[in-house]
Amino acid sequence: MRKRTLILIYLILPFFFTGCFDSREIGDHAYVTALGIGQGISDTFRLTFQISKFGQGSGSSGGQEGEEGGGGGKNEEMEVITIDASSLLSAVSITNSYLSKDLNFMHLKLIVISEELAKNDMMEETLAPLIRYRHIRRTTNVIISKENAEEFIKELKPYPGELITRTLEELFENSMKIGYFHNSTLNDLYCEIKSPYHALLVTYGSINKEDNFKSEGDFFEGEPNIPGNYYAGEVPRKGGPKIELVGTTVFDGDKMVGKLTGFETQMLHLVRGELKFGPFSITDPEKPDLAIPLDITEFEKPVVKVDLNGENPKIHVKLKFEGDIVSIQSGIDYETPEKLPIVEDAFEKQLIKGIKDTFDKCKEMKADVFDFGTTAASQFWTIPEWEEYNWLEKFSESELEVEVDFTVRRTGKLIKSEPNFSSEGKE
C-alpha cells in the first residue's frame, strides 16, 4: 500500500511543475498601455503601441530636475512604436521580431482611433478583432482622436508622479463629474455599434496646440461663452497636459457622422441621466456681459415618453434639477425670494435651448444619441416588430418637447449681496 502511494505521488508530482513549460515572469512582457489605430500607408492599419515600464521610479519623470514640468516633459519610462500591418496580431508578431519582450495588452487602458479611420466606415473592421482578442479587456476606454493616433499617443503622458494607467483612469472618471465628454469603453462601443436602440458615441480627444490661446489682442467683451462649448483641441488654454478630452463623436452605424461639443455632450448626458451633478453657467439676466456659475444636481431621474401613434414620433422629456449659486459676478441680489426665480428661469431656458439645439443637430446626423430608442422599444411586443420599425431611421423625423424644472436650493457662502461703496456713493 505504501509502495503504491509513493508511486502515485511520484506520478502526480510532475503535474505541479507544468507551469515551468511556458512560464512567463512579469518582467518578460512589454506592457502596452495605449494602442493607436489609424489608416496605414504600407498596409491596412497603422498601429501605435505605447509601452510603459512599470517599475521603481516609473511615472515620476515629469517633475524631475532639469526637465519640463507638468507631465509634458521628457518621459524616459515610455516607448512608442508605430507599425503598419494588416491586423493587430500581425503587428504584434512583427514587433516581437525586434523587441525582446513579449507585447502584452493585459494593462491596456486606452485605444485611440484616428478620426479619419472612423469617418471611413471602418469602425466595425477595427473593433471586431479587438473584442475577440483575448488580452484586451472590454473595459478599455476608447477615444477618437482628431489627429492621427500616433501623434496623439506620443503626447499621452502621465500626471507627474503617477503611472499612466492611473492618469487615464482618473481622466475618464472626470466624465461623470463634468460631462464634457462621453466615457466610452470597448464594450459600450461594441454593444452600441450593433444596437437598434441608439447611436454609437465615442469620446473625442485631441492635442491642444495652444492655437486658440491668444496672447495679444483686445480684451474680451460681450456675453460670456458657454462653458465647454468647444471641441477637443480648441480650448483656449496654455500649459498642462497636451491632450484633452472635450466633446463626443457621433456615429451612424459604424461611420462617424459628426461630433458634439463639450456643452452639447453635457446636454445629452443630462437627458440620459448620466450626469448626476455638474458645473454650469448662465448669462446674468440683468447684466448679460457677466455670468452666474451654478452647481447643479439631478433631483429626479429624467422622465422620457415617446409617442409613436402619430406620423412622426413625439418625444417628451421632463428633467428636474436643484442647485447652488456658486457666485454672482454682477453682485446683483439674486438671493432674494423675488429674484431667485429669474436665475431659475434663465437656467431652465438655457437647458431647453441647449437640449433642443443638440437634438436638432443629431437629427441631421440621423443619430439618436439620447437613447430615446430604448424607451420607444418598450412599446413594441416583439423584436421583429421593433426591428422592422427601424427607430434609427424614424428618429430623424421625430419631434422633441423638453420640460425643465430647476430650483435654487442654496446660494453659497453668502446669503445676500449688498452693493459696493465708492466715492460716488452706493453703486
Partner 1 sequence: MIKEGNFGYHEAISTLLITIVINVFFTSPAIVVEIVGNVGWYMTIISMLTAIFAFMFLYLLLKRFPNKNIMEISDVVLGKWGSAVFLFLFGGFLLWTASISIREFAEILKIYVLPRTPPSFITILFLITIVFFSYMGLETIVRFAKFIIYILGAGFILVIILSSQNFNFKNLFPILGYGLDNTLINGLLRSSLYGEIVLIGVIASSLQGYKEIKRIGLSTLFLAGLITSISLLVFTLVFPYTVGQEITSPMYEMAALINYGGFMQRMEPLFLFLWNFGSFVEIAFVFYATLMIYCHIFRIDDKRPVILPMVTTLYSLSLIPKSITEVTSGYVQTLRSWGWVFYFIPPVFILIIAMIRKKKGESKNA
Contacts with partner 1 by CB under 8 A lie at 12, 15, 18, 22, 134, 137-139, 166, 169, 173, 187, 190-191, 194-197, 371, 374-375, 377-378, 380-386
Minimum Å gap between C-beta 139 and partner 1 is: 5
Minimum Å gap between C-beta 424 and partner 1 is: 56
Minimum Å gap between C-beta 192 and partner 1 is: 9
Residues 12, 8: Cα–Cα separation, whole Å:
6
Q: Tell me whether strands 425-426 and 291-307 are parallel, antiparallel or unpaired.
A: unpaired
Is the Cβ of residue 100 or residue 378 nearer to partner 1 in the bound state?
378
* Grid cell 446669503 in the structure block, residue: 415
Minimum Å gap between C-beta 385 and partner 1 is: 7
Minimum Å gap between C-beta 382 and partner 1 is: 5
Minimum Å gap between C-beta 207 and partner 1 is: 27
Is the Cβ of residue 222 or residue 384 nearer to partner 1 in the bound state?
384
C-alpha distances in Å from residue 9, one per residue of 14, 18, 19: 9, 15, 18
Is the Cβ of residue 197 or residue 277 nearer to partner 1 in the bound state?
197
Is the Cβ of residue 88 or residue 207 nearer to partner 1 in the bound state?
88
Answer yes or no: are the C-beta atoms of 248 and 203 closer than 8 Å. Answer: yes
Burial of 397 per CB tally in 10 Å (0-12, 13-18, 19+)? exposed
Is the Cβ of residue 8 or residue 414 nearer to partner 1 in the bound state?
8
Minimum Å gap between C-beta 389 and partner 1 is: 10
Written as nine digits, the cell of 124 is 466595425
Helix intervals (H) in 123-251 = 123-132, 149-154, 164-178, 186-193
Helix intervals (H) in 56-163 = 88-95, 115-119, 123-132, 149-154
Written as nine digits, the cell of 245 is 478630452
Residues 165, 108: Cα–Cα separation, whole Å:
8
Is the Cβ of residue 157 or residue 198 nearer to partner 1 in the bound state?
198
Is the Cβ of residue 148 or residue 185 nearer to partner 1 in the bound state?
185
Minimum Å gap between C-beta 173 and partner 1 is: 8
Is the Cβ of residue 6 or residue 383 nearer to partner 1 in the bound state?
383
Answer yes or no: are the C-beta atoms of 204 and 234 closer than 8 Å. Answer: no
Give the sheet arrangement for strand 314-325, strand by strand. Answer: 277-283, 291-307, 314-325, 399-410
Sign of the dihedral defined by the CA atoms of residues 68, 70, 76, 82, in that order: negative
Written as nine digits, the cell of 24 is 512567463
Minimum Å gap between C-beta 411 and partner 1 is: 34
Minimum Å gap between C-beta 161 and partner 1 is: 16
* Grid cell 515610455 in the structure block, residue: 78
Is the Cβ of residue 5 or residue 382 nearer to partner 1 in the bound state?
382
Q: Which residues pair with 325 in a beta bridge?
A: 294
* Grid cell 521628457 in the structure block, residue: 74
Q: Which residues pair with 403 in a beta bridge?
A: 318
Answer yes or no: are the C-beta atoms of 69 and 63 closer than 8 Å. Answer: yes
Is the Cβ of residue 166 or residue 314 nearer to partner 1 in the bound state?
166
Residues 113, 99: Cα–Cα separation, whole Å:
24
